[in-house]
DNA sequence: ATTAATCTGTGTATAAATTACACAGAAGTA
DNA sequence: TACTTCTGTGTAATTTATACACAGATTAAT
């Protein structure tokens, strides 16, 4: 597994090959609660433990492509926009062999995706974030780091991926923000901040079935 | 290079091993200018090109340990505190074989470190950031990303690693900030902001040889 | 030694951004 | 029809960031 050669990087003359995995924290928003997609392993190690969906990087694929492949295999999610979170390299993080993982997060609408356990998975479920079981591998940390990254992004940008439907009320958007940030926001201040980003457009339609008759907004094109 | 097995992550049954490299953007501050340590490769690919020092991850080492090893081999820098920047995985980023790189940055005092070319390196030099040559591999992007990460960190925290001596004037610190951020800062506002962090202590000593007789500060313990 | 030049050290006024807060109108529910 | 609940809105107070000028200290020049 160690072989010198002129193609190596300059400083370290010996090469060591290692499995690279991608892990994806898929966040979803449903019933007004932020959830994350977990899978239950049907094989060792960590058989019967819940983990974040992940898989090995394949030959000829980038990390982004690999994680897209993983997600599509598992959930049918295609062309997800993904954010790199961090890289995990502790030598004993995988009990059987050395694996270095790069984690990503994605934001989706749970109702769009079937949750059918596939390869090496005995179960699949959207978990509410405050009801997470103890996860396998180092995925507790992975999820925590991903959520923090998501929070940071949320505070600066208008980011909600496809967590919301095409048309949504500002209250729905605010509920989403509150779920992710884990804090309550002032309605007037929130609306002020969001609207002055000038990214949303009032469709002038009203959402029926909810008191007050709130306006539906959509992303400007 | 592809072998199935029960130790693989849940979703992707096949494993693919790949070389992992660490790359380190070592920033230094000298003559009131921000510099970066580059090395000139003496081997193909990119023979005679300048690149950021890097090397392959070794068996049994974490990424941090690996990049510390690389730096120590190259510059004698030990126990550097490192910040992870990003992960690069384009399939053709290395012309000979597949390499996935994780980049880091570090902050050092150039005068503390000898610049003696070692393994696979024909030259080593501190380059001013606005005089960078075209770098080998995708290291132009790497450096740019690392610098942006450094800027972000700088704006929120008091961060200067060991770029400055133990005792320094606030003007020296401000010069450092201005070099990294690439913009001029107001002296009074800068002092206000830095001092109210309450991390620095006035040693009551004055720096000699400079007009005005500025106070020397040090980090509170 | 005197003078000139340069750098340090400091406060305040203004502008901008964030936060706190209350009530009338619309739609659903009883 | 009355009642409840949710939406939608403006302003004052606070905090934060920005702009700005001069006196004292030290070195450099003569």
With bands split at pLDDT 50, 70 and 90, how would you rate the model's confidence at A204?
very high
Nucleotide nearest to A207 (CA to C1'): C27
Please determine, for residue B1, whether its predicted confidence score (pLDDT) is greater than 70.
Answer: no
Length in residues, chain B: 221
Strand D contact with B155 (CB < 7 A): no
Count Cβ atoms below 10 Å from residue B125 Cβ, excluding itself.
Answer: 14
CA of B106, closest CA in chain A: separation in Å? 17
Q: Residue B199 above 80 pLDDT?
A: yes
Give the per-residue pLDDT at B115: 72
With cut-offs at 50, 70 and 90, classify the pLDDT of residue A14.
low
Chain-chain contact of B73 with A12 (C-beta, under 8 angstroms):
yes
* Cβ within 8 Å, pair B89-A15: no
The pLDDT value recorded for residue B4 is 34
pLDDT confidence tier of residue B109, bands split at 50, 70 and 90: confident
List the one residue out of B125, B119, B136 whose CA is nearest residue B36. B125
Q: Cβ(B206)–Cβ(B216) under 8 Å?
A: yes
pLDDT of the residue at A4: 34
Place of tokens 């693919």: B16
More confident residue, B109 or A191: A191
Q: Please, what is the average pLDDT of chain B?
A: 89
Residues of A within 8 A of B96 (CB-CB) are: 7
Cα distance between residue A107 and residue B174, in whole Å: 40
Which chain B residues touch A100 with a CB distance below 8 Å? 20, 57, 63
* CB pairs A-B closer than 8 Å: 162
| Å: B143 CA to D21 C1' | 40
- The structure's pTM equals 0.90
pLDDT at A116: 75
Residue B188 CA to residue B196 CA, distance in Å, equals: 12
- Residue B46 CA to chain centroid, in angstroms? 21
Report the pLDDT value the prediction gives residue A15, as an integer from 0 to 100. Answer: 66
pLDDT, residue B219, reads 94
Give residue-wise pLDDT tens across range A152-173: 999 888 888 789 999 999 999 9
Band of pLDDT at residue B157, cut at 50, 70 and 90? confident
Is B63 in contact with A89 (Cβ distance < 8 A)? yes
- Closest nt by CA–C1' to B211: D26
Q: Which residue has the tokens 């004037």?
A: B169
Picking from A17-21, A52-56, B108-112, which range would have the lowest pLDDT averaged per residue? B108-112
Q: What is the pLDDT of residue A114?
A: 66
- Band of pLDDT at residue A214, cut at 50, 70 and 90: very high
Helix then strand then coil, in percent of chain A rounded to 5, is: 25, 30, 40
Note the pLDDT of residue B14. 59
Query: Of the candidates B11, B16, B74, which has its C-beta nearest A73's C-beta?
Result: B11
Report, in angstroms and rounded to the nearest whole number, the Rg of chain A calculated over CA atoms: 20
| Residue B219 CB partners (closer than 8 Å, separation 6+) | B199, B200, B201
- State mean pLDDT over A75-91: 87
Residue pair B174/B187 in contact by the 8 Å Cβ criterion: yes
The C-alpha of B216 sits at a distance from chain A's nearest C-alpha, in angstroms, of: 36
Residue B188 Cβ under 7 A from any strand D atom: yes
Of B7, B15, B56, the CB nearest to A15: B56
CA closest to C26 C1', residue: A212
């Amino acid at each position: 597994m160690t072989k010198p050669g002129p193609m190596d990087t300059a400083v370290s003359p010996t090469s060591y090959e290692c499995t690279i995995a991608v892990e994806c924290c898929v966040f979803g928003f449903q019933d007004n609660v932020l959830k994350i997609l977990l899978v239950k392993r049907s094989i060792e190690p960590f058989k019967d433990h819940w983990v974040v969906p992940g898989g090995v990087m394949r030959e000829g694929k980038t990390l982004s492509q690999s994680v897209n492949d993983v997600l599509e295999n598992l959930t049918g999610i295609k062309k997800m926009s993904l954010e790199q979170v961090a890289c995990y390299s502790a030598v004993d993080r995988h009990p059987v062999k050395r694996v270095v993982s790069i984690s990503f997060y994605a934001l989706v609408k749970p109702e769009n995706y079937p949750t059918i356990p596939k390869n090496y998975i005995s179960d699949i479920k959207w978990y509410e974030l405050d009801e997470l079981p103890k996860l396998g591998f180092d995925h507790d940390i992975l999820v925590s780091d991903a959520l923090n990254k998501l929070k940071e992004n949320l505070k600066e940008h208008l980011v909600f991926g496809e967590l919301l439907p095409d048309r949504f009320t500002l209250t729905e958007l605010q509920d989403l923000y509150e779920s992710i940030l884990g804090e309550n926001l002032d309605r007037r201040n929130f609306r002020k901040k969001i609207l002055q980003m000038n990214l949303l457009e009032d469709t002038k339609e009203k959402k029926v079935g909810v008191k007050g008759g709130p306006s539906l907004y959509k992303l400007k094109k």
